[in-house]
């Protein structure tokens, strides 16, 4: 199997930062506004990179994911200027992984921290996968597990502690709150890997083995407790290859862009500068969709607030097409499908629709009760209204008014009419269920014919 000669990993960590946290970071000397991607650190290359991004992303996503040069918009993109840690796990303390850049994309509700880690040396696919498993570890997977320590100038620390304490400089009370919101994907952070291998570009089977070795951290030819042969075959068949010299394989929230030999067709620059933006977008979509899925089952939240918020989020951050580049568009759709984002979106829309139907049925039931109460009141007071209106008329000139039995006759007739009205109202109240059932049966054939 070929060796991996170069490897770069992008870690995406969702963070729920408040407005005060964002304002403080914007004023901090550790962060600067950066209108382009982390790959560009020379001001002379800004304009060229901005032009590439504007041609790559659709209009509604450009400012949201890349910030604004003027810095006058609500959200933005910040780049860290602090010292970055390195990971030393070999006996001779050789530095083989280093955080080289950190970008913070400020978005509604959640911000995405993108860490760029570079691996140094020439490794096998299994070694790279094992190293990447340690790089993306944020929390221990079980009680006896240990999280790798990263080395700073004066101490060793976990990666997530460095993010909270040094990079974001959060207060003690805020650290626990922010830490609870980083576990959307378990103990490991989502990761996009850009790797080079010295293999034949036309050997898709061998390159697939390298990608799977990077994904799982061991050779797929070995017997180990992990994915079955059918699962490995599904991941391999789901691999995306636009050109013969590069391919993409994904497992869960870990995706490998493998480039064979010399970079062609815009690689690896496009993977670093442009595909990383699509990776951020799909991770942000995943987190927000899971949040909305939880909100649809929360009875303490008003349905109309959930519906309005989801409509705004869908219009802005759930485009069917995120880029004007065909290759990037197909890769965006592949990542969304593998993460089952369209299915989650349909589930949310179905839950909102069901909740709206239940709310509509409750409103109709309430209106029916109000109409029933008004009907009963009308049935009770209608006889009194008739009697009052009748005896309030000017009837002094009527011929029968002089008859001594006139009062008795008129009162008897009006009383009989009032009794009939009251009896009809009580009978309708007692037989309400049967009447509604009969009307429903009469209307159902007509509805079925219309449908």
Per the domain annotation, does 85 fall within a domain?
yes
In a domain, 230, yes or no: yes
pLDDT tens, residue by residue, 283-307: 999 999 999 988 888 777 777 888 8
The reply to whether 251 and 392 lie within a common domain is no
Per-residue pLDDT, 60: 78
DSSP SS3 for 310: helix
Give the pair of three-digit tokens for residue 53: 């991004």
Q: Are residues 230 and 375 located together in one domain of the fold?
A: no
* SS3 annotation, 197-256: ECCCCCCHHHHHHHHHHHHHCCCCCCCCCCCCHHHHHHHHHCCEEEECCEEEEEECCEEE
Q: Could you tell me if 160 and 188 are in contact, meaning their C-beta atoms sit under 8 angstroms apart?
A: no
Q: What is the pLDDT of residues 353-372, one digit of tens each?
A: 888 888 888 888 878 877 87
pTM score of the predicted model = 0.77
pLDDT exceeds cutoff 70 at 126:
yes
Owner of token pair 């705004």: 312
Query: How many structural domains is the chain composed of?
Result: 2
Q: Do 74 and 220 fall into the same domain? A: yes
Of 213, 230, 262, the residue that ends a domain is: 262
The answer to whether 77 and 35 have CB atoms below 8 angstroms apart is yes
Question: Does 42 fall in a domain?
Answer: yes
Q: Is the pLDDT of residue 209 over 90?
A: no
Give the end of a domain, one of 234, 262, 290.
262
Report the pLDDT averaged over residues 142-164.
Answer: 86
Using an 8 Å Cβ cutoff, are 255 and 279 in contact?
yes
60-75 residue pLDDT tens:
787 777 665 544 444 4
Q: What is the pLDDT of residues 395-442, one digit of tens each?
A: 555 555 556 666 667 677 767 777 777 777 777 667 666 666 666 666
Mean pLDDT of 378-383: 71
How far apart, in whole angstroms, are the C-alpha atoms of residue 62 and residue 394?
81
What is each CA distance from 179 to 21, 125, 143, in whole angstroms? 14, 32, 18
Give the tokens for residue 165: 């304490």
Q: Is residue 285 part of a domain?
A: no
What span, in angstroms and rounded, lies between the C-alpha atoms of 214 and 235?
13
Q: What is the pLDDT confidence band of residue 9, given thresholds at 50, 70 and 90?
A: very high
pLDDT band at 46 (very low <50, low <70, confident <90, very high): low
Same domain, 224 and 367: no
Domain of residue 402 covers: 358-450
- 246 shares a domain with 364: no
Q: At what angle do helices 59-66 and 46-56 cross, to 10 degrees?
A: 140
Q: Which of 262, 296, 315 is the last residue of a domain?
A: 262
Q: Does residue 205 surpass a pLDDT of 90? A: no
Q: Please state, in angstroms and rounded to a whole number, the distance separating the CA atoms of residues 372 and 377.
A: 9
The answer to whether residue 320 sits within a structural domain is no
């Amino acid at each position: 199997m070929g060796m991996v000669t170069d490897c770069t990993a992008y870690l995406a960590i969702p963070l729920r930062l408040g407005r005060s946290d964002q304002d403080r970071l914007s004023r901090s000397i550790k962060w600067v506004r950066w209108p382009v991607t982390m790959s560009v650190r020379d001001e002379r290359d800004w304009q060229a990179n901005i032009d590439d991004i504007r041609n790559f992303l659709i209009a509604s996503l450009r400012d949201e994911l890349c910030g604004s040069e003027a810095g006058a918009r609500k959200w933005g993109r910040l780049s860290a200027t602090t010292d970055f840690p390195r990971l030393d796990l070999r006996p001779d303390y050789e530095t083989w992984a280093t955080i080289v850049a950190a970008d913070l994309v400020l978005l509604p509700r959640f911000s995405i921290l993108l860490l760029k880690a570079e691996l140094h040396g020439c490794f096998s696919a299994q070694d790279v996968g094992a190293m990447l498993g340690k790089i993306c570890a944020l929390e221990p997977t079980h009680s006896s597990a240990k999280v790798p320590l990263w080395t700073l100038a004066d101490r060793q620390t976990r990666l997530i502690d460095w993010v909270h304490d040094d990079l974001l400089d959060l207060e003690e009370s805020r650290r626990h709150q922010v830490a609870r919101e980083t576990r959307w994907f378990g103990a490991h952070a989502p990761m996009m890997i850009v790797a080079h291998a010295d293999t034949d570009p036309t050997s898709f089977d061998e390159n697939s083995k390298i990608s799977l070795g990077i994904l799982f951290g061991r050779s797929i030819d070995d017997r180990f407790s992990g994915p079955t042969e059918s699962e490995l075959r599904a991941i391999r068949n789901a691999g995306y290859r636009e050109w013969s010299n590069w391919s993409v394989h994904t497992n869960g929230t870990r995706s490998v862009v493998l480039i064979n030999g010399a970079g062609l067709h815009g690689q690896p620059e496009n993977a670093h500068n442009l595909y990383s933006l699509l990776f951020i977008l799909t991770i942000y979509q995943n987190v927000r969709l899971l949040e909305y899925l939880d909100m649809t089952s929360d009875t303490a939240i008003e349905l109309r607030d959930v519906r309005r918020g989801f409509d705004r989020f869908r219009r802005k951050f759930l485009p069917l097409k995120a880029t004007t580049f065909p290759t990037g568009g197909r890769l965006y759709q592949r990542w969304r499908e593998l993460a089952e984002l369209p299915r989650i979106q349909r589930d949310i829309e179905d839950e909102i629709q069901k909740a709206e139907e239940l709310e509509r049925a409750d409103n109709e039931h309430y209106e029916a009760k109000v109409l029933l109460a008004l009907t009963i009141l009308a049935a009770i007071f209608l006889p009194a209204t008739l009697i009052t209106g009748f005896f309030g008329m000017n009837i002094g000139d009527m011929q029968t008014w002089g008859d001594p039995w006139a009062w008795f006759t008129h009162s008897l007739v009006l009383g009989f009419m009032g009794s009939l009205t009251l009896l009809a109202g009580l009978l309708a109240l007692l037989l309400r269920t049967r009447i509604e059932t009969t009307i429903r049966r009469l209307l159902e054939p007509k509805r079925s014919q219309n449908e």
